[in-house]
Chain A
Amino acid sequence: MIEVKGLSKKFDSGYVLKDIDLQIEDGEIYGIIGANGSGKSTFLNILNGKDTIVKTGGYEGDIFIDGEKVRILDHQHSVSHGISMVHQELALFPGMRAVDNIKINHENVKWELPVIPELSRLDEKKNLEDAKTALERIGTELDPVRNIDNLSLNQKQFVEIARELDHQNIRLLMLDEPTSSLNITETEKLLSCVQEIASRGISVIFVSHRLEEIEKICHRVSVFRDGRLISTYKKADFDLNRFAEDMVGQKIVKAARERRQLSEETILEYRCRDDDGNTLTIKKGEILGITGLAGQGQEQFLAGLFGLAKTNYTTSFKGEMLKDGDTHGLIGKGIYYISENRGVDSLLLDSSIWENMIFGTEGKHQDFLSLSRIPGLSFLKRDRIRSYTEQMIEKLNIVCADPQQPVRELSGGNQQKVCIGRALTFEPELLGIGEPTRGIDIYSKELILNWILKMNQEMNTTVVVVSGELEELMRICDRIAVMYQGKIHRIFNTGVSPEELSLALYGKAAS
């Protein structure tokens, strides 16, 4: 039996996991669900002895294995206690054989050299036997000498599970979104494999966004939210609607935006390349939210248009087809995008606030230039820019020393305000924002959301917000589009219930 008591993890910004208590019986499949950022990964990382935990001061609380208290100090330590993990993103080495991937870091050697064990001779025969056994245990007749590159996704997933099962003393197998990249038949196969593993007395922690899988194979389920364990259900009490409610919280709707008549004029239209009926039209003057679980393709729209992500959609602006990645042309047309990776795509971190506030806006703001006829060779009107920046700093409530301060030194929230400031300087007709409130404190969140509303109302800017924060989207958006498996799944008007919205995230409708 594996038990955790009062498990907590604190980063500089505060607790991301607080007082988790749970017990997992031998041979039990224990499901953990929760929204993004609810602390699931942190929980798994603690048990797995990940560097992200170890190098940031470790964890608080206790872990017991069969009643014996253990302290997980690093990854090797976790493995030595029989804890294994299959990662969401395949942790396999391309270009190497399946057997090398399975036996990596616990190879059989013929003779062990004392000082440099790395130079020991491999026992190829025994390694192959072990790999074959491990693969057979999960019902795969895969030849272990095959190169990983030639395997299907499903087979790769099995190789990864085989690697973890090959640890001699395995007690607990943790699976993080193991089915996120598999199709239905592959998923079925994997699920029955997990059940088979559990039937041999190995405990399994199963993390998935796909609630139907949780429902199917788990014996118990815990819901995490904001780093806390909210509820635990036994198999008899499983109820998808209650899961969803616990995941997003009761107080999901704070202040729903008043329902209003949308303009009929289409400003932007997306059309799916391989599904002509799958379109998304954005009306002039609306605020549209785009959401979805991680990796469902919500980045295809504006990030895709600006060449920052792969997209399967074509875009037309007021009837005119747009070219993906033509940033200069897009900005010229009045389309502007603030990326979710602010520090990488939207800010010059080592430049000052004023530079970040105005770069690229010279075409729009000739009053910043002393020789506006030759903008490319013109000096900047420093006084004018300084007073403009000071005005913006005050307006947006940016906490900083002065306009000269490098943006890198500002907090995440203030950096986002600088982005908003530049968007305001551009006065775009259409503004796209990716994850506007990611990593931002509650106070600044409200400020940023307010500014989005304000731009929309006062400047009549059409806004597209791509975000995983359902609660915020419901407050500010006129409509919310939900993405599922790379395509638009549903589009909701304001007033949608949180349950309906969270079920749509999983490609389901409320019953």
Chain B
Amino acid sequence: MKHIKNNLVPVCIFLLAVISFYFADVSGKYLASEIYTRFIRNALFVLALILPISCGMGINFAIVVGAISAQMAIVFAIDLMLEGPAALLFTMSVSIFLSIVFGLMVAALLNRAKGREMIVSIMIGQLSSVLYQFVFMVAFGLIITPHNEAILLDRGIGVRSMIDAKNISSVIDGIFPFQLDGKTYSLFPLIIIAVFALLLFYIQRSRLGVLAKAVGKNIHTADVLGLKTNKIRSLCIVISTIFAAMSQILYVTDFGTVNVYTGHIGMDTNAAAAILVGGATLKGASMKNCFLGLILFHALFITSPMAGQNLFQNPSVGEYFRSFLAYGVIIIALIMNLKTEKKKASFA
């Protein structure tokens, strides 16, 4: 009973997912294959949220910046007409480089907004999205000389909104294939996710892990004891941004095309919802929360529109369910969080 009380959010979502699955009337195999796809597309985004939470900065909605770094790297790779492993390697290195640069900029801003990191990170995400869109809508072809005419709009300025990303998605296609629900999937992305999860596992147990936790527990004490709080926070944000970039690359390789102007949007909200569904709070998150949350959230995300449609005989209700879920879950989890925090405070 106590266990349920401590994990109220995941338990509630699990029950909802079971009900939703029942009404959606889909096969377990279908659900599993859909969850697998979404898992590999989103897992690293969710993992990216752990470090900023543990160092007390709340949910880093600015992971959008990481996604943008990856999108830029991918478009550059396509523009340079790179193919195969070279394209993937180029994309990864450029996006890591951009993530470090942008991550440091984000961290500099967030360090000036202590105590209000979440709202500031949302705004940074929005602003960077606009700036990024400007680069590919206006500057590409006008300031930056394109190499690959095929990706340009007919007027010669600006990139098309959808670009084929076969050059990188083809790399992983044949590696460790397996069949699920009549379709072929690759295990390779899962291996990459495992590698990054191990990396995060190491970071959490490195010096940085302990220092970040200390800063998250009490930044004032950390200052008193002479910890370099700003540097620690910056490192966490940069690592978070790199994880987000890697996640976006996995997303695009899986999806097969780049949605140049909108591909990065909404990643932050879904990741935030997933980690909260997994039982994380704004002050503490673990990998368990991430993986559990990813599966629960996406199970609900996949089945709820169909359940809504079947229950009300109306497809638009189904879509409504989906948007309600993403935002509703964040709000409900936040409120539950605040309540438990208040309870703890009154005992102290």
* Residues on A facing B (Cβ under 8 Å): 49-51, 74-76, 79, 87, 91-96, 100, 104-105, 107, 109, 116-122
Contacts and interface: CB of A to CB of B under 8 A. Distances in A.
A96 B224 contact: no
Contacts of A91: 221, 224-225
Given A96-B213, A116-B235, 14 more contacts: A49-B226, A75-B226, A79-B226, A91-B224, A93-B217, A93-B218, A94-B217, A104-B210, A107-B207, A107-B210, A118-B208, A119-B203, A119-B207, A120-B206
A96 B211 CA distance: 11
B109 to A, nearest CB: 21
A105 B206 contact: no
Interface of B is mostly: helix
B223 interface: yes
B280 to A, nearest CB: 15
Contacts, number: 67
Contact of A105 (B213, B225, B235): B225
A96 B217 CA distance: 9
Nearest to B232: A118
Contacts of B213: 93, 95-96, 100
A76 B228 CA distance: 10
A109 B207 contact: yes
Interface in B184-216: 202-203, 205-208, 210-211, 213-214
10 contacts: A93-B213, A93-B221, A94-B217, A96-B213, A104-B210, A105-B211, A105-B226, A118-B232, A119-B206, A122-B205
Contacts of A117: 207
A122 B195 CA distance: 20
Contacts of B221: 91-93
Contact of A121 (B206, B225, B232): B206
Interface string B63-106: 00000000000000000000000000000000000000000000
Nearest to A78: B226
A453 B231 CA distance: 54
B227 interface: yes
Contacts of B203: 119
Nearest to B283: A95
Given A116-B235, A118-B235, A104 B206 contact: no
Contacts of B226: 49, 74-76, 79, 105
A76 B231 CA distance: 15
Chain B interface size, under 10 / 10 to 19 / 20 to 34 / 35 or more = 20 to 34
Nearest to B220: A91
B145 to A, nearest CB: 34
Contact of A104 (B205, B225, B235): B225
A124 B2 CA distance: 32
A87 B226 CA distance: 13
Nearest to B221: A91
Interface in B215-246: 217-218, 221-227, 231-232, 235
Nearest to B222: A93
Contacts of B224: 50, 87, 91
Contact of B210 (A92, A95, A100): A100
B237 to A, nearest CB: 13
A447 to B, nearest CB: 36
Nearest to B215: A93
A107 B211 CA distance: 10
Interface of B: 202-203, 205-208, 210-211, 213-214, 217-218, 221-227, 231-232, 235
Contacts of B205: 121-122
B218 A94 contact: yes
Contact of B214 (A49, A74, A96, A120): A96
A156 B217 CA distance: 16
A75 B227 CA distance: 9
B211 A104 contact: yes
A276 B82 CA distance: 85
Which 4 A-B pairs rank lowest in CB-CB distance, beginning with the nearest?
A75-B226, A118-B208, A93-B217, A91-B221
Contacts of A96: 210, 213-214, 217
Contact of A122 (B210, B214, B227, B235): B210
Contacts of A93: 213-214, 217-218, 221-222
Nearest to B236: A118
Nearest to A124: B205
A96 B227 CA distance: 16
A79 B208 CA distance: 21
A499 B208 CA distance: 53
Nearest to A77: B226
Contacts of B208: 116, 118-119
B223 A105 contact: no
A75 B229 CA distance: 13
A118 B211 contact: yes
A95 B207 contact: no
Nearest to A51: B223
B296 to A, nearest CB: 26
B122 to A, nearest CB: 26
Contacts of A118: 206-208, 211, 231-232, 235
Contacts of A119: 203, 206-208, 235
A111 to B, nearest CB: 11
Nearest to B209: A122
B233 to A, nearest CB: 11
B227 A105 contact: yes
Given A91-B224, A96-B213, A105-B225, A120 B207 contact: yes
Contacts of A105: 211, 225-227
A150 to B, nearest CB: 14
Nearest to B284: A95
Given A118-B206, A120-B206, A95 B223 contact: no
A134 B202 CA distance: 27
Nearest to A76: B226
Contacts of A79: 226
A500 B225 CA distance: 39
Most buried by A among B205, B206, B213, B223: B206
A389 B226 CA distance: 48
B217 A104 contact: no
Contacts of B211: 104-105, 118
A109 B210 CA distance: 12
Contacts of A74: 226
A51 to B, nearest CB: 7
Contacts of B218: 93-94
B50 to A, nearest CB: 15
B207 A122 contact: yes
A120 B202 CA distance: 10
A93 B208 CA distance: 15
Nearest to A94: B217
A107 B206 CA distance: 10
Contacts of B223: 51
Most buried by B among A50, A93, A94: A93
A98 to B, nearest CB: 13
A363 to B, nearest CB: 33
A246 to B, nearest CB: 30
Contacts of A109: 207
Nearest to A85: B224
Contacts of B206: 118-122
A183 B121 CA distance: 46
A120 B208 CA distance: 8
A203 B20 CA distance: 69
B30 to A, nearest CB: 42
A95 B54 CA distance: 12
